[in-house]
């Protein structure tokens, strides 16, 4: 039986507080036994900063003082209409979608309309009771695309229904829970909150049979069993800039997204505490890209071109606006303190890829990959307190790809793609610890991950280029697990947040030839006892990653 849902106060704000799970919202189950319990959000412990070694190559200095850019966070949000559903939401199973014509890309000199938060297309969703009130351990998320459910012949051509089904898989029990179906055009544009209680997904603009226009960024809350559209969008990569997907905060209460604002892009934070997204980079007219949350959720790292282009607005002083100007895909690294609203430039190094944090004081990034074709690249470690940004691969002159940092930030393993190709392990200071030349990977065909305790590092192929079986080494790069004649080639290794399992994409090999079927496998952290968790599904399997407590 479906429930009638009615909101009586501040419709849109309450709705977002419910669905995003704002920290100031709670349900007292003792007072209302019919209320659905909400799992407590555990604070993310602050990571310990790694001391900067003495042997470093200083490429930036905190003197003179780094420039500061501030914004005023106290904005009065524009009023939003109260959203009070007056009828029981209904679901239309597997709707037929008619894709809308693609919008013509616009030059940087053409202004874009600011995307409003609309919170519409509200709908109830049935959620399996196993996962509805929270995950008790790490589960793995997968997609099964165009699953053949109406035939026993696996050689049957692709089915007429182009859909993909989202699942969560429990590696301990091998239980698989179906979450929701999407059009297959969604691809891998599904973004889980770290605690596994909610997710975002993107739908291409399309028309339903009843004339409803769908498309944009959607939110599904598993605890409450509801979904809705946050805002319309023709793409998650405005102006064609890559890798601008939504990023969840570590406590799963907020989301950072990049949106077009006039002639440039800004970073917005969406939370249940605010009626509208807060533009946290609103005080400049430059392109602001690739937000990344610090482990404690208090700061955002991002890349901005403001040092080179203070404005992209036509007619403003020092504007970079021109009819044939292309949006930037690089800039300087900045860190925004969300409490004070102050952004600080970290260094003068040109950054052309998304940064990531390895502690509350250190950020890592690989640069040089935007060149075509790239010849060399550099792996950097930035200490935001000292302002020092160190080239860990200085002097190698190599194309260094697939960098994976140990949990404590003390070591990095990567693929040196320049001949002779090798897998290299370096200390954070830049000192080489070890290297392996026995396993050459294709360019852009290497992926690695460390166990949560730093004892093991697993490496394999990626992007369906899986030349070997699973390889697991100790922290000094001494290979512990490798089966040269394995019948399973491996890609995309990933350790669970709770440290119990190692997941990877496995492709069966028969008579020396891969059969093309990719499945989700899990193993012990050292690579032993490998189990196929998706062999009963009949669709193309895509791995999304681990969700839930760790």
pLDDT for 369-407, tens place per residue?
Answer: 888 888 899 999 999 988 899 999 998 899 999 999 999
DSSP string covering 51-63: PPPSS------S-
Q: How confident is the model at residue 236 (pLDDT cuts 50, 70, 90)?
A: very high
Buried b vs exposed e over 499-523: b needs ≥16 C-beta within 10 Å? bbbbbbbbbbbeeeeeeeebbbbbb
What is the helix (H) or strand (E) element at residue 13, kind and residue range? Answer: helix 11-20
**In angstroms, rounded to a whole number, what is the distance separating the alpha carbons of residues 279 and 459?**
39
**In angstroms, rounded to a whole number, what is the distance separating the alpha carbons of residues 530 and 522?**
6
Has residue 313 got a pLDDT over 50? Answer: yes
Q: Which backbone phi and psi does 355 adopt, to 5 degrees? A: -85, 165
Has residue 331 got a pLDDT over 90? Answer: yes
Has residue 445 got a pLDDT over 80? Answer: yes
| pLDDT of the residue at 274 | 66
| pLDDT of the residue at 435 | 96
Question: Are 152 and 177 contacting, i.e. CB atoms less than 8 angstroms apart?
Answer: no
**In angstroms, rounded to a whole number, what is the distance separating the alpha carbons of residues 389 and 57?**
8
Has residue 240 got a pLDDT over 60? Answer: yes
SS3 assignment, position 20: helix
Q: Which residues, 6 or more positions from 32, have their beta carbon under 8 angstroms from its beta carbon?
A: none
Has residue 40 got a pLDDT over 70? Answer: no
| pLDDT of the residue at 533 | 97
Higher pLDDT, 216 or 486: 216
| pLDDT of the residue at 12 | 64
Q: Is 111 exposed, middle or buried, given 0-12, 13-18 or 19+ CB atoms closer than 10 A?
A: middle
| pLDDT of the residue at 377 | 95
| pLDDT of the residue at 443 | 87
**In angstroms, rounded to a whole number, what is the distance separating the alpha carbons of residues 381 and 460?**
24
Has residue 82 got a pLDDT over 60? Answer: no
**Token duo for residue 37:** 């319990």
Q: Which residues, 6 or more positions from 219, have their beta carbon under 8 angstroms from its beta carbon?
A: 19, 20, 198, 199, 200, 227, 228, 229, 230
**Token duo for residue 339:** 């409490």
Has residue 539 got a pLDDT over 80? Answer: yes
Has residue 363 got a pLDDT over 70? Answer: yes
Has residue 151 got a pLDDT over 60? Answer: no
Q: How many CB atoms lie within 10 A of CB 462?
A: 22
Instruction: Report the percent of the chain where pLDDT is more than 90.
Output: 62
- Pairing state of beta strands 264-271 and 299-304? unpaired
Torsion angle, alpha carbons of 345, 348, 349, 350, to 10: 80
Higher pLDDT, 168 or 375: 168
SS3 assignment, position 17: helix
Instruction: Report the percent of the chain where pLDDT is more than 70.
Output: 76
Alpha-carbon separation of residue 254 from 6, 198, 199, 492 (angstroms):
24, 11, 11, 27
Q: Among 67, 79, 107, 106, which residue's Cα sits nearest to residue 347?
A: 67
Question: Are 428 and 381 contacting, i.e. CB atoms less than 8 angstroms apart?
Answer: yes
**In angstroms, rounded to a whole number, what is the distance separating the alpha carbons of residues 548 and 542?**
19
Q: Which residue has the tokens 């799992």?
A: 39
CA angle at residue 243 from 238 to 245, to 5 degrees?
Answer: 75
**In angstroms, rounded to a whole number, what is the distance separating the alpha carbons of residues 87 and 4?**
6
Long-range contacts of 536-539 (CB under 8 A, 24+ apart): 537/144, 537/147, 538/144, 538/147, 538/148, 538/149, 538/154, 539/144, 539/145, 539/146, 539/147, 539/148, 539/164, 539/165
| pLDDT of the residue at 104 | 42
**In angstroms, rounded to a whole number, what is the distance separating the alpha carbons of residues 495 and 508?**
21
What integer is the mean pLDDT of 306-327?
Answer: 90
Query: pLDDT by residue (tens digit) across 253-285?
Result: 999 999 999 899 999 999 876 668 899 999 889
Has residue 482 got a pLDDT over 90? Answer: yes
Instruction: Locate the DSSP E strands across 103-212.
Output: 120-124, 139-145, 163-169, 176-183, 190-192, 198-207
Q: How confident is the model at residue 99 (pLDDT cuts 50, 70, 90)?
A: very low
SS3 assignment, position 403: strand
Q: Would you say how long the chain is, in residues?
A: 550
Least confident of 1-10, 14-23, 248-257, 478-487: 1-10
| pLDDT of the residue at 290 | 97
Higher pLDDT, 39 or 357: 357
Has residue 419 got a pLDDT over 90? Answer: no
What integer is the mean pLDDT of 147-153?
Answer: 60
| pLDDT of the residue at 70 | 34
**Token duo for residue 55:** 């042997």
CA angle at residue 525 from 522 to 529, to 5 degrees?
Answer: 50
Across the chain, mean pLDDT equals 81
| pLDDT of the residue at 386 | 87
Query: pLDDT by residue (tens digit) across 171-199?
Result: 999 999 999 999 999 999 999 999 999 99
Question: Are 185 and 165 contacting, i.e. CB atoms less than 8 angstroms apart?
Answer: no
């Amino acid at each position: 039986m479906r429930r009638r849902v009615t909101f009586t106060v501040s419709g849109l704000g309450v709705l977002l507080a419910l669905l995003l799970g704002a920290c100031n919202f709670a349900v007292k189950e003792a007072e209302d036994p019919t209320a659905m319990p909400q799992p407590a959000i555990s604070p993310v412990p602050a990571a310990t900063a790694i001391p900067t070694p003495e042997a470093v190559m200083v490429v930036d200095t905190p003197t003179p003082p780094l420039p500061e850019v501030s914004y005023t966070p106290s904005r009065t949000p524009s009023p939003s209409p109260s959203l009070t559903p007056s009828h029981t939401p209904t679901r239309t199973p597997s709707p037929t979608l008619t894709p809308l014509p693609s919008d013509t890309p616009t030059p940087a000199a053409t202004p874009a309309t600011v995307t409003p938060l609309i919170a519409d297309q509200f709908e109830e969703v049935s959620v399996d009771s196993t996962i509805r009130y929270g995950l008790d351990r790490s589960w793995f998320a997968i997609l099964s695309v165009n699953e053949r459910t109406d035939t026993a012949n696996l050689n049957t051509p692709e089915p007429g229904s182009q859909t993909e089904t989202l699942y969560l898989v429990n590696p301990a029990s091998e239980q698989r829970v179906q979450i929701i179906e999407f059009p297959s055009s969604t691809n891998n544009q599904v973004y889980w909150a770290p605690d596994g209680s909610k997710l975002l997904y993107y739908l291409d603009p399309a028309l339903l049979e009843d004339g409803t226009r769908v498309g944009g960024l959607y939110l599904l809350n598993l605890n409450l069993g509801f979904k809705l559209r946050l805002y319309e969008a023709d793409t998650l990569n405005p102006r064609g800039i890559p890798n601008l997907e939504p990023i969840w905060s570590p406590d799963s209460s907020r989301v950072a997204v990049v949106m077009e604002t006039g002639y440039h892009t800004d970073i917005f934070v969406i939370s249940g505490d605010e009626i509208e997204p807060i533009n946290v980079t609103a005080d400049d007219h430059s392109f602001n890209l690739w937000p990344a949350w610090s482990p404690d959720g208090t700061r955002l790292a991002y890349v901005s071109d403001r040092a080179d282009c203070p404005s992209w607005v036509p007619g403003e002083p020092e504007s970079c606006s021109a009819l044939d100007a292309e949006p930037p895909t690089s800039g300087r690294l900045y860190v925004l303190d969300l409490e004070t609203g102050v952004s600080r430039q970290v260094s003068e190094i040109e950054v052309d890829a998304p940064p990531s944090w390895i502690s509350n004081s250190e950020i890592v990034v690989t640069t040089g990959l935007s060149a075509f074709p790239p010849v060399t690249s550099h792996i950097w470690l930035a200490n935001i307190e000292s302002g020092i940004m160190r080239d860990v691969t200085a002097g190698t002159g190599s194309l260094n790809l697939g960098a994976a940092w140990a949990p404590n930030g003390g070591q990095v393993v990567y693929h040196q793609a320049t001949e002779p190709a090798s897998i290299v392990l370096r200390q954070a200071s830049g000192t080489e610890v070890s290297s392996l030349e026995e396993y050459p990977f294709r360019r852009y065909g290497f992926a690695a991950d460390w166990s949560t305790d730093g004892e093991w590092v697993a490496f394999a192929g990626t992007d369906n280029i899986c030349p070997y079986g699973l390889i697991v080494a100790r922290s000094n790069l001494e290979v512990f697990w490798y089966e040269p004649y394995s019948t399973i080639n491996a890609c995309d290794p990933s350790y669970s947040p709770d440290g119990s399992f190692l997941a990877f994409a496995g492709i069966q090999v028969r008579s020396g030839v891969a059969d093309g079927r990719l499945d989700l496998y899990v193993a012990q952290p050292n690579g032993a006892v490998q189990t196929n968790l998706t062999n009963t599904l009949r669709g193309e399997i895509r791995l999304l990653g681990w969700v839930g407590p760790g």
